[in-house]
Chain A
Amino acid sequence: MFEAVYRWIDERIDLKGLQAKMLNEPMAGGARYAYVFGSALLFIFIMQAVTGLLLMFYYAPTADHAWESTKYIIEKVDFGWFILSYHLWGSSAMVAVLIMHISQVYLWGAYKKPREMVWLAGLLLFLIVIGFGFTGYLLPWDQRSYWATVIGIEIVDKAPILGDFLGRFLRGGPVPGAQTLSRFFVIHIMILPAALMAVAGLHIFLFRKAGPAGPFRGTTKELKEKMEYFFPTQVWKDIVVMGLVFVIVCTLAVRWPHEMLEEASPVASGLNPEPEWYFLFLFQLLRDPALAFLFSGEFGEFLGAILLPTLFLLLLAALPFIDRSPERNIFKRPIALTSWVVVMTSIVILTVRAIMFRE
């Protein structure tokens, strides 16, 4: 029966042709597990959208009921704890896989000509994902949410020229409150999803136009001989990894379900505010005693919290235009390899120190 429906539609819109165009993408050098991270990210986004939609059935985005409605979901609604925990662990999974994806693209030199625009769209997507994490964190409106947001917006406030305006725009006023929650909610569920879908569409379109970069080793002849089409081998690898991601996030959600703290309040509590794990390195950069000579004081904070991250992002954006060498083999790109190792190691060390020096 399904085949009959397929044939009926195919007769009218050439569905087979469309399917062929989508799935018969040639991949020099064949399918690899190294290429799965983009598809894994798409899968994670879809799961976040689905669980997020379900959460919206019961969540109340107003300061008077945000906390209670989140508690209702966790404690009362059937499997609410699972849906919410999946959504939260899924957001961590998204950042983790994003780091893997960016690293893989970087190490394979797939940002070089003719893929500069794919890389830039990708960086924009990276910022959107960070935005999701930042805005979503406030919505439960517990102590952790509230204080993380207070601090995060204070950092934005320190940006030059536009900082005060941006801070007020995000807060919906001079101080954080009910207006902040409304703004963060609409950004999280409407603006960022729309932006993500548009930019991800562009990213995939640009990627298909340029074609997959393929392995960084091997002569053209070897790669041609090992050519495979996207379907079925790469699709198969993608599906395996998607299944794995799903199982991992489910396991984390069940083993470590989310626990809310008390309702947000400006009163000093026993809580030591901390951002999500993927911001811990930045958090530690600003307070590590070994780095105090650089990052203490007003200028030091500006340097660590705003200037350096901005410069780093600009460097990433400029990468395809600075690194014009067509060499894609990472072992023949010593500067690239060393930079990656240094940056990743620093992030890991800072993250570990942040956890070690918890009060």
Chain B
Amino acid sequence: MQPRITAKVICTDREVGEVSYVIADPIAKSVSHLVIKADGRESVVAIDGLIAGCTEREVRLTCASGALAAASAPFRRDDFVTIHDVEIPHLERNLDQVTPGGVLVPLPVLEKDLSRRQFFTRFTNVIGAMLALPLVFPVVRYLIYPLYQPFTNLWIKLGAINAMGQEPGVPKLFKFQKTVLEGYITRHYEKSHWVIKLTPELRDKIYPNGDHEFRDDKGTLIWVNKKDADIAVLSGKCTHLGCAFRWRKHKRFGQVFVCPCHLSVFDPSGTVLDGPAPRRLDVLPLKISGSGEVEIIDMEFKAGKAEQVRIA
């Protein structure tokens, strides 16, 4: 046998029964109706504006018992569900005064002692941090390992100088085989750069400050391109955003390099004539052996920047 919680309902003239259920409006989250049990019958009545006063033991209404009977309807239990059957957010917060047949359980530690709960929560987080923090450094190093590899500065054979075009000032697209170790895979693929036979004007435009020095971050000299060399090799990567550009006849500029992506225009020396390219075309380190074998270091530079920043 379990005790039930009830409150007496008292109209202006007399006591009419006791509360057997409280009905809440799920949207307004307030009590909308009472189910009053009297003489073994249960009837449901809207109590909007009817409640004069409420204590633990009684509900006092503003109307007379006759008027209440007229406003009541028979209570059908099947028309309603308990708050355990539906999910009504924050209902308990709004109805904390109502405990219809309320059942309680002992207060758990979680709710009881704030300082103890906080202590345990903090301790758990500390242990979690002690496990996780020593892993942060190794995991970050693990993930970034291949990102900033040092440059290899390998010389790649481009071909014989005789095969590189005879006409001065006319660039020729030259394809070559590149072999690269990418982590654990050695990849072979075809790449191309522009080789141009130099004229005095081109020499002045490409090497305005004389022989061109290639240095690394620390200032160590890697190579020097001689100004008086027969040819120069220009990187086939557009300095705007890295597209491969072409040698075309342009309406305004005549025979020039034109990039199909965003229409940057460069003259045969690589100087920017038009379009969004922020700097001139990049010149690559070049070596010609005694037997006429042309070699380059296939350097790569960041696109989209006015200054030349080497990335490979």
Distance of B264 from chain A, by nearest CB (Å): 35
Contacts A65-B184, A68-B184: A232 and B142 contacting too (C-beta < 8 A)?
A: no
Complex CA distance for A291 and B117, rounded to whole angstroms: 58
Most buried by A among B110, B127, B138, B141: B110
Distance of B47 from chain A, by nearest CB (Å): 28
Using CB atoms and an 8 Å cutoff, list the residues of chain A in contact with chain B.
14, 19-20, 23-24, 26, 54, 57-58, 60, 65, 68-69, 71-72, 76-80, 82-83, 229, 231-232, 235-236, 239, 242-243, 246
Distance of B268 from chain A, by nearest CB (Å): 43
Q: Is the CB of B145 within 8 A of A20?
A: no
A79 and chain B: residue at smallest CB distance: B138
Q: Is the CB of A69 within 8 A of B184?
A: yes
Q: Across the interface, which residues of B come within 8 angstroms of A24, CB to CB? A: 108, 110-111
B142 and chain A: residue at smallest CB distance: A79
Q: Is the CB of A235 within 8 A of B183?
A: no
Q: Is the CB of A235 within 8 A of B120?
A: yes
Given contacts A76-B145, A78-B145, A79-B138, 19 further A-B contacts (CB under 8 A): A26-B105, A54-B139, A57-B142, A68-B185, A71-B184, A72-B184, A77-B146, A78-B138, A78-B141, A79-B141, A79-B142, A83-B139, A83-B142, A232-B116, A236-B123, A239-B127, A242-B131, A243-B127, A246-B131
Q: Is the CB of B142 within 8 A of A77?
A: yes
Complex CA distance for A320 and B184, rounded to whole angstroms: 52
B126 and chain A: residue at smallest CB distance: A239
Q: Is the CB of B120 within 8 A of A232?
A: yes
Complex CA distance for A238 and B1, rounded to whole angstroms: 40
A232 CB contact (under 8 Å) in B117, B130, B138, B184:
B117
Complex CA distance for A278 and B130, rounded to whole angstroms: 31
B143 CB contact (under 8 Å) in A54, A68, A72, A236:
A54
Complex CA distance for A60 and B183, rounded to whole angstroms: 11
A83 and chain B: residue at smallest CB distance: B142
Complex CA distance for A24 and B109, rounded to whole angstroms: 8
Q: Is the CB of B109 within 8 A of A231?
A: yes
Please tell me if B177 contacts chain A, counting CB pairs below 8 Å: no
Q: Across the interface, which residues of A come within 8 angstroms of B188, CB to CB? A: none
Q: Is the CB of B143 within 8 A of A57?
A: yes
Q: Across the interface, which residues of A come within 8 angstroms of B185, CB to CB? A: 60, 65, 68
Interchain residue pairs A-B with the least CB separation, the first 3: A72-B184, A79-B138, A232-B120
Complex CA distance for A79 and B183, rounded to whole angstroms: 15
Complex CA distance for A68 and B187, rounded to whole angstroms: 14
Please tell me if B40 contacts chain A, counting CB pairs below 8 Å: no
Complex CA distance for A78 and B131, rounded to whole angstroms: 20
Q: Is the CB of B183 within 8 A of A72?
A: yes
Q: Can you give 21 A-B contacts (C-beta < 8 A)?
A: A20-B108, A20-B110, A24-B108, A26-B105, A54-B143, A69-B183, A69-B184, A76-B145, A77-B142, A78-B138, A78-B141, A78-B145, A79-B139, A82-B138, A83-B139, A83-B142, A229-B108, A229-B110, A236-B120, A239-B124, A239-B127
Q: Across the interface, which residues of A come within 8 angstroms of B110, CB to CB? A: 19-20, 23-24, 229, 231-232
Please tell me if B290 contacts chain A, counting CB pairs below 8 Å: no
Complex CA distance for A14 and B116, rounded to whole angstroms: 22
Q: Across the interface, which residues of A come within 8 angstroms of B89, CB to CB? A: 14
Q: Is the CB of B143 within 8 A of A229?
A: no
Complex CA distance for A54 and B136, rounded to whole angstroms: 12
Q: Across the interface, which residues of B come within 8 angstroms of A76, CB to CB? A: 145, 183-184
Distance of A125 from chain B, by nearest CB (Å): 24
Complex CA distance for A246 and B134, rounded to whole angstroms: 12
Q: Across the interface, which residues of A come within 8 angstroms of B90, CB to CB? A: 14
B111 and chain A: residue at smallest CB distance: A20
Q: Across the interface, which residues of A come within 8 angstroms of B124, CB to CB? A: 235-236, 239
Complex CA distance for A41 and B143, rounded to whole angstroms: 26
Distance of B24 from chain A, by nearest CB (Å): 17
Contact with A along B175-219 (1 / 0, CB 8 A): 000000001110000000000000000000000000000000000
Q: Across the interface, which residues of A come within 8 angstroms of B143, CB to CB? A: 54, 57
